[in-house]
Structure 1
Amino acid sequence: ERRRNLAGNILLLCYFMFIFKYDIQVIYSIPEELSKGSLVGNIAQDLGLDLKRLKTGRARLHIGNSAEYIVLNKERGVLLIKERIDREALCKQTTPCALHFQIILENPIEFYRVTVEITDINDNAPIFKMNSMLFEISESAVRGAKFVLEKAFDSDVGINGLRSYSLNPTDNFVLKLHDHTDGEKEVEMILQKPLDREKQQEISLVLTAVDGGEPQLSGTVQIHVTVLDANDNAPVFKQSMYRASLAENSPKGSLLTTVSAADIDQGSYGLVTYSISSNSDLILDLFEIDETTGEVHLIGEVDYETSKHYQIDIKAKDHGGLTDSCKVILDIIDVNDNNPIIDLMSTTPSIPEDAKFQTVVAVMSVHDTDSDNNGVVKCFLSEKIPFTIENSSKGFYSIVTESNLDRERASEYNITVTCSDEGVPSLSSSVTLTLQISDVNDNAPVFERSSYEAYIVENNTPGLSIFTVKARDADWNQNARVSYILEDSSVNGVPVSTYVSVSADSGVIHAVRSFDYEQIKDFHFRVKAQDGGSPPLSSNVSVKILIQDQNDNAPQVLYPVQTGGSLVAEMVPRSAEVGYLVTKVVAVDVDSGQNAWLSYKLQKATDRALFEVGLQNGEIRTIRQVTDKDAVKQRLTVVVEDNGQPSRSATVNVNVAVADSFPEVLSEFTDFTQDMEYNDNLTFYLVLALAVVSFLFITCLVVIISVKIYRWRQSRILYQSNLPVIPYYPPRYSDTLGTGTLPHVYNYEVCRTTDSSKSDCKFGRAGSQNVLIMDPSSTGTMQRIQSDKSILDEPDSPLEVRLV
């Protein structure tokens, strides 16, 4: 019932301080020995936290290296006893006794400091170290003689600690208590009635120690007194208190101080021995005294962080049983023997690369159990990284981002925190935490080239792979997954998607159709590379496809024109010399390159000894002198071949009339028509054509003569009048004087070998008009400039006759 009353009187004290975000300290007070599951306090209510926040923030207790006695119930928001708490085992004689821990919340990171003070209950009775105390007292001991008794020890503190002593019986002795400044009581047994050995040689007493708890607990020890013959002087210490100091971690055997007591008695009664009368095992384990010299030595290890002061009770006793006591106060000097302790309270395993400035990635507490400068700690990061450490409050540090992060430069950081104290020499501790930088889609795909150019042979199979475009993305995972898209555009008014397609995953470009070099030689389009981020980023590249020619077109003969209903013949006079140009076979090949290089061969001829064909230019020339014996009608078959692999060819039939006059040609015409299976109406059309040509020829002569006379008269008039009058000259056509049978005039050069100054077939231009230029400074003077010569000016131009 008393424990329930104590539990009901829990004290709630809250202190608010500024920390990184929140620094709230809650203090509870509970009695020791509470049963498991007992309520400590409603922490959610006291901190003003919602129960949902405890769950979403994954609230937990951070107790550091201490034993876990308290547990957090997040469902109820209360602190409960997890393990039975024994104040004496936890804190010994230290007061106040308290548990310190923190409550950590995440998202965002928050922490609150909690202190649970453990109050003492009277669960330990006073005890004496010794089962009995033996005294030998001379009968000559005078009234008021003092005998120091061993003190009892009560592990409880405060009101529950040792309060008083009682002695029974009190016939010869009474108790006297001395209170010291440290709160302890010194117990002395005072002789109030002289002893008489002859009446009573042995006296038995009971010393009872009582504490102040409710109910009171007590402990007893037997005191056995042996009455001796007279020894009327007790030892006396020169000082009632000695003070010494000792550095912690001093070696065993170190001399602390030397105590001294004197006894003026003679003989054995004057011999003094020393002993430590402390009732604490800790004192006896750490110190010893030489019983004859009084030197106090260290036999254990002292630690400033465990205890800063020690009190050693020393007793001097003569052989007559008389005693005296003194105290040695030992001060422990701190030495910098403890490294700073770094406790990572909360860490973040990863943050995105676009995290904002001053983003918290870890919170830790740092403390050093040393004192003064030995316990002053400073923390820093050991590397040049985009993070910094900030002291959010006393003993608490936060690691925050200091600059922008870039996962493509560094995807992981090993952050090493080093904390050093200001002792001499300085001690330090380090801890390393690994932080992953998660990717953000901040890099667009980049093509391996600024532009692409690829070749494909015409007449390809649809679906053929042409080549591959490749783009890389510096991001990671889905953000680096590149897809390829054909951008909308048109080629000659047709969507480019009807020409090519691109594989979205691999970037392989396929031909959608079969290409024809003669229709399209190249085309451009653009390919876009897009990543899989959200939102996606993209870039594009220009692609040029060049169509390569195949020898898929046979040569086409332009001249002589092959007609189905008429006969074309070239006339050669019988006076023609060797090398006479009969005609020229004109052919073209719509292919390109070597596929369009043409060669001409004479396949069949009426007289192969009379004609030859130029291999490169297709010119048909005589190779001997024409004689009267040569037949009038000659028929040649010329094959035109290109240089492709395999080559393609075309044939053309050339009819040649060997005659000096038209009548001679006409006399053989009948035979021509029979050979060609023409009908009889051709004769009429031939005569009609000759009549029309003759009429036109005569008309042209009259017109030319008239124009010449007109120009001559105009020039005379201008010369006589001295007027700047520009006469009109009609245009001069290049085919006016022509007698050939070609539908148009062709100007060509012949190139038989590499040494020749002429080249292959070249189509000529119509002769230009005359240009008149008048000089203003000289009247009556005109210049005629003819820019181009007609093909009729060439001396080798053959006379051609078209027979219809």
Structure 2
Amino acid sequence: MSDRTMARQVLLFMCLLSLSSVRGQVSYSIPEEMPKGSLVGNIAQDLGLDLKRLKSGKARIYTGDSAEYIELNKERGVLLIRERIDREALCGQTTPCALHFQIILENPMEFYSVTVEIMDVNDNSPSFKRAEMQFRISESAASGAKFVLERAVDPDVGVNGLQSYSLNPKDHFSLKVQNQPDGNKMVEMILQKPLDREKQEQLSLVLIAVDGGDPRLSGSAQINIIVLDVNDNAPAFTQEIYKATITENSPKGTVVTTVTATDADKGINSEKIYSITSTDDTMPELFEINESTGEIKVAGHLDYEKAHHYQIHIQATDDGGLTDSCKIVVDLIDVNDNTPVINIMSKLNIISEDSKLNTVVTMINVQDPDSGENGKVHCSLETNVPFSLKSTTNNFFSLVTDNNLDRERETGYNISVICADEGSPSLSSSVTLSLQISDVNDNAPVFERSSYEASIPENNTPGLSIFTVRARDADWNQNARVSYILEDSSINGVSVASYVSVSADSGVIHAVRSFDYEQIKDFQFRVIVQDGGSPPLSSNVSVKIIIQDQNDNAPQVLYPVQTGGSVVAEMVPRSADVGYLVTKVVAVDVDSGQNAWLSYKLQKATDRALFEVGAQNGEIRTVRQVTDKDAVKQKLTVVVEDNGQPSRSATVNINVAMADSFPEVLSEFTDFTHDKDYNDNLTFYLVLALAVVSFLFIVSIIAILSVKCYRWRRERMFYKSGANLPVIPYYPPLYADVGGTGTLQHVYNYEVCRTTDSRKSDLKHMRPTQSVSSLDASGTQTLTHVQREKLINYDFDDQQKPPNTDWRFTQNQRPGPSGAAATPEVAVGTGPWPNPPTEAEQLQALMAAANEVSEATNTLGPGTMGLSTRYSPQFTLQHVPDYRQNVYIPGSTATLTANPQQPQQALPPPQASGAQPEPPKAAQTPASKKKSTKKEKK
């Protein structure tokens, strides 16, 4: 903070002390850099104020044109940090550093002075303007030669400021610190040991500056020394301190002063260079120096209000690196360049018309940053108003009333205050104060009507706006602000608040519930209006609400009574005259007015030409004579309708019996209650039957498709090649005796599973099991059952085994009963079957059958048995060739035939070892031909 600003704060502080309304002064001390919201002090306790007084007096802080770093918490009565305070930015090197402000209270108006001293915190470390300093020192420099070093700058003050310097290493140089009269320190580097350029041409030193804070902070600069040859005379200034005076706001380039230094050396060693090393402010750009002549000029804007004087340090350096320094003190002269600043410390925007004389309306503080006569100000009012300006102390003024106020005559004033200083020329400023005159609450609000009446239809929506009551108040502002209140009362024992509500601001009356005309026709209540004055004034008005009927109820039929179980019928004798009163429909409507007017009409009747209903009275009468052709059962439907908009209606069904006696009526009406049930049941059963039939049809279609698909896949399986045939059933020839006994002892059934490489794998087949077969009269035998018992695996090679000669028979060797021989008693062809073939022969027969199945698929012609027929489960003996004519020997290509043209040979005895004759070849079938061809190829 500049000295001038500090002086203004001290002056403000002294002025506040001299005010008559000042009650006391409080001082606090806080460290800088405290965070926002930190506690400064309990101002209410220290000033002896009550928290209620702070709130009622609208306590606040007044700082003038300075930034507000402190805020007042009226709830707690304490001062808090509003903005982080940087002491160096606020006061600079000035000590002590303090904030001065006032606590302003109103009703009555008073203020207190508060001083907050900002204590320095070691938050800045010493720093050098240049990180490196370079010296050119002659080697002839004698011990004790001085070299002025650049000073370090530490913005902190006191013990936290710069304290000491140190130099490393200390082989050739030492430090000397001299205190200056202005409090600054001059740092000199003293040569302790002569330099020898031949040994060391350059030296590098480190200058360390340390402050006295806790913890201690330091800064350093590098010193580079170049050792030169002989230059044993340093420059010397003619004065150690130069003084200069210059007015503020001087333009750039204005010469401040000129410094001069001499050097006893000659030639190049006597040439000097002038430079500014440092200043005591943070704005070194305000001045500049000519390096050759030493002329100091203004380089920036000089403001007396910021700083009254400046210190400039100048250094002269010759070509040999020897230096000398001096100081220039520049004092500024104030110029009247600032207009007075008018600050409103406290202001009333509204004042009551019954205020007393000398009531303080506004407190004004006027500040002029200029000094002397340029800073003295006086204020005055411009217009003729019932107010006057009183000065309590220098630069503090109070605007007070000096006449009675009347709001009806003048509702407000615009007061102009003009403040001028005593400078030459004089500068002035003005401010306009707007003041409104408030009214006293002397008028009660009045309703626009003496009473209100409104209507609302029933069945309304809750919250519906009914109408609005309005009242006006002749007063102004808060006194004229009215609010509406529902007077507490009861309607039929229920609070009126459960029926209606009134908006406090607008006076709109809302329905709280939905009204029913049948329960309540109208009701009354009172509304109170009250203004916002103190004390408040009020008045009331009567309000009547009428409920309008709506057609919300349908007619109700009282007669005839509708029953759910029994049937009630009106009996009309067949001899009834025209206009005979059958019955009368009686109905009521709980609505009122035209909503309750009922009319009757006949909607539906068995015979419309026989009955009519009275439109107004509901009487049902006959319109003609009853005849024998009229049905005994007559059913009428009568509609009862009201006259509302929209209309509502009800219907009633009436059963009429055209009979002269009760038993006749009873017999005819027994099915009244059952017709509907019967029709409903019939419809249900028809729908159910249709659903069942549809389901069965879909299931049948799916079953047929599944069977067709299964048969198609099975046929495809049997038509594949033998290598890929999964299962091939083999049925060996079955023989029957000539007598047609139809009995077979054994059935051999084999199942073959082969793959493409089945010749090198095992073969699975089933052991033969007994089966029952039947033979019809024509000799056709049918297989009925085959049981599979056990799988036996065999390995076989590719060679076909030779046929077994034991299986070759003559024509006389016919099979007969088991164990029988060819005797005269036994017919030819009925002898025993030879011993069964071995397992190897059976296997060969099975393979041959498989090949035959595979080849016969493509060679079967007309009249030839197909594969699917021959090997299907339905295969019968009628498809087997007549083995009495052709005997097909398994495992052999020979076929025994029973050609009658060939002679029959008797079977040799078993013990005979002679060769059996070769049987003649039988007629070959396509399958046998292919089989024989295959074997010949092998």
The interval holding the TM-score normalised by the smaller chain is 0.5 to 0.7
In the TM superposition, what whole-angstrom CA distance separates every residue of 1:651-682 from its partner, at most 9, and x where no partner exists?
xxxxxxxxxxxxxxxxxxxxxxxxxxxxxxxx
**Aligned equivalents of 2:266, 2:348: Cα separation in 1:** 81
The one-letter amino acid paired with 2:344 is L
Q: Tell me the equivalent position of 2:136.
A: 136
How far off is 1:24 after superposition? 2.5
**Aligned equivalents of 1:428, 1:24: Cα separation in 2:** 33
Distance 1:197 1:279, change over 3 A: farther
Distance 1:14 1:291, change over 3 A: closer
In the TM superposition, what whole-angstrom CA distance separates every residue of 1:725-764 from its partner, at most 9, and x where no partner exists?
xxxxxxxxxxxxxxxxxxxxxxxxxxxxxxxxxxxxxxxx
**Aligned equivalents of 1:187, 1:277: Cα separation in 2:** 12
**Aligned equivalents of 2:364, 2:116: Cα separation in 1:** 21
Q: Tell me the equivalent position of 2:65.
A: 65
**Aligned equivalents of 2:156, 2:534: Cα separation in 1:** 68
Q: Tell me the equivalent position of 1:393.
A: 393
| Contact map agreement 1:340 1:367 (CA 8 A) in 2 | yes
Distance 1:249 1:23, change over 3 A: farther
How far off is 1:442 after superposition? 11
| Contact map agreement 2:22 2:113 (CA 8 A) in 1 | no
Q: Tell me the equivalent position of 1:94.
A: 94
After TM superposition, the structure 1 = structure 2 runs for residues 61-460 of structure 1, keeping only pairs within 5 Å, are 61-278=61-278, 282-439=282-439
**Aligned equivalents of 1:441, 1:37: Cα separation in 2:** 43
**Aligned equivalents of 2:28, 2:287: Cα separation in 1:** 38
How far off is 1:74 after superposition? 1.7
SS at match of 1:26: strand
SS at match of 1:303: coil
**Aligned equivalents of 2:345, 2:314: Cα separation in 1:** 48
The one-letter amino acid paired with 1:428 is S
**Aligned equivalents of 1:143, 1:119: Cα separation in 2:** 44
**Aligned equivalents of 1:534, 1:311: Cα separation in 2:** 66
In the TM superposition, what whole-angstrom CA distance separates every residue of 1:283-303 from its partner, at most 9, and x where no partner exists?
421000001111100010111
The one-letter amino acid paired with 1:374 is N
Work out the percentage of aligned pairs sharing the same amino acid: 63
Distance 1:413 1:141, change over 3 A: same
The one-letter amino acid paired with 2:390 is E
List gaps (5 residues or longer) in structure 1: 1-12, 444-474, 482-532, 536-804
| Contact map agreement 2:281 2:310 (CA 8 A) in 1 | no
The one-letter amino acid paired with 1:141 is A
SS at match of 2:89: helix
Residues 192-201 or 344-353, more deviating: 344-353
SS at match of 2:285: helix
- Give the TM-score normalised by structure 1: 0.52
Q: Tell me the equivalent position of 1:699.
A: none
SS at match of 1:277: strand
How far off is 1:173 after superposition? 1.1
| Contact map agreement 1:128 1:221 (CA 8 A) in 2 | yes
How far off is 1:62 after superposition? 2.4
**Aligned equivalents of 1:52, 1:15: Cα separation in 2:** 28
SS at match of 1:55: helix
The one-letter amino acid paired with 1:202 is Q
List gaps (5 residues or longer) in structure 2: 1-12, 444-473, 481-532, 536-938
Distance 1:154 1:253, change over 3 A: same
**Aligned equivalents of 2:279, 2:355: Cα separation in 1:** 63
How far off is 1:215 after superposition? 2.1
The one-letter amino acid paired with 1:211 is D
Q: Tell me the equivalent position of 1:40.
A: 40
| Contact map agreement 1:15 1:25 (CA 8 A) in 2 | no
How far off is 1:164 after superposition? 1.1
The one-letter amino acid paired with 2:187 is V
Q: Tell me the equivalent position of 2:483.
A: none
**Aligned equivalents of 1:15, 1:382: Cα separation in 2:** 26
The one-letter amino acid paired with 1:303 is D
How far off is 1:355 after superposition? 2.5
**Aligned equivalents of 2:53, 2:333: Cα separation in 1:** 47
Q: Tell me the equivalent position of 1:730.
A: none
Distance 1:139 1:351, change over 3 A: same
How far off is 1:109 after superposition? 1.6
The one-letter amino acid paired with 1:240 is E
**Aligned equivalents of 2:351, 2:68: Cα separation in 1:** 32
How far off is 1:22 after superposition? 2.6
**Aligned equivalents of 2:157, 2:423: Cα separation in 1:** 35
**Aligned equivalents of 2:18, 2:288: Cα separation in 1:** 50
| Structure of larger gyration radius | 2
The one-letter amino acid paired with 2:185 is K
Distance 1:198 1:385, change over 3 A: same
SS at match of 1:343: strand
Q: Tell me the equivalent position of 1:574.
A: none
Q: Tell me the equivalent position of 1:49.
A: 49
The one-letter amino acid paired with 2:200 is Q
**Aligned equivalents of 1:98, 1:221: Cα separation in 2:** 34
- Report the number of matched residues: 441
| Contact map agreement 1:342 1:429 (CA 8 A) in 2 | yes
How far off is 1:183 after superposition? 1.0
**Aligned equivalents of 1:430, 1:14: Cα separation in 2:** 25
CA-based RMSD: 2.8
| Contact map agreement 1:16 1:25 (CA 8 A) in 2 | no
How far off is 1:87 after superposition? 1.4
In the TM superposition, what whole-angstrom CA distance separates every residue of 1:207-231 from its partner, at most 9, and x where no partner exists?
1111111222111111110000010
Distance 1:269 1:18, change over 3 A: closer
The one-letter amino acid paired with 2:431 is V
- Give the TM-score normalised by structure 2: 0.45
**Aligned equivalents of 1:362, 1:68: Cα separation in 2:** 21
**Aligned equivalents of 1:59, 1:440: Cα separation in 2:** 26
SS at match of 2:282: helix
In the TM superposition, what whole-angstrom CA distance separates every residue of 1:507-555 from its partner, at most 9, and x where no partner exists?
xxxxxxxxxxxxxxxxxxxxxxxxxx999xxxxxxxxxxxxxxxxxxxx
How far off is 1:393 after superposition? 2.7
In the TM superposition, what whole-angstrom CA distance separates every residue of 1:542-573 from its partner, at most 9, and x where no partner exists?
xxxxxxxxxxxxxxxxxxxxxxxxxxxxxxxx
| Contact map agreement 2:279 2:311 (CA 8 A) in 1 | no
Distance 1:281 1:131, change over 3 A: farther
**Aligned equivalents of 2:279, 2:223: Cα separation in 1:** 16
**Aligned equivalents of 2:36, 2:98: Cα separation in 1:** 18
The one-letter amino acid paired with 2:107 is N
| Contact map agreement 1:150 1:279 (CA 8 A) in 2 | no
The one-letter amino acid paired with 1:65 is D
The one-letter amino acid paired with 1:142 is A
In the TM superposition, what whole-angstrom CA distance separates every residue of 1:240-284 from its partner, at most 9, and x where no partner exists?
111001111111111000111111211110111111011667342
| Contact map agreement 1:62 1:104 (CA 8 A) in 2 | yes
**Aligned equivalents of 1:105, 1:442: Cα separation in 2:** 29
| Contact map agreement 2:357 2:403 (CA 8 A) in 1 | yes
How far off is 1:42 after superposition? 0.7
In the TM superposition, what whole-angstrom CA distance separates every residue of 1:378-409 from its partner, at most 9, and x where no partner exists?
11112222211111233321101122334454
**Aligned equivalents of 1:30, 1:167: Cα separation in 2:** 36
The one-letter amino acid paired with 1:148 is V
In the TM superposition, what whole-angstrom CA distance separates every residue of 1:350-399 from its partner, at most 9, and x where no partner exists?
22334322111001211111111111111111222221111123332110
| Contact map agreement 2:255 2:295 (CA 8 A) in 1 | yes
| Contact map agreement 2:173 2:191 (CA 8 A) in 1 | yes
How far off is 1:18 after superposition? 4.9
| Contact map agreement 2:15 2:394 (CA 8 A) in 1 | no
How far off is 1:129 after superposition? 1.2
| Contact map agreement 1:128 1:279 (CA 8 A) in 2 | no
SS at match of 1:256: strand
SS at match of 2:398: strand
**Aligned equivalents of 2:476, 2:60: Cα separation in 1:** 34
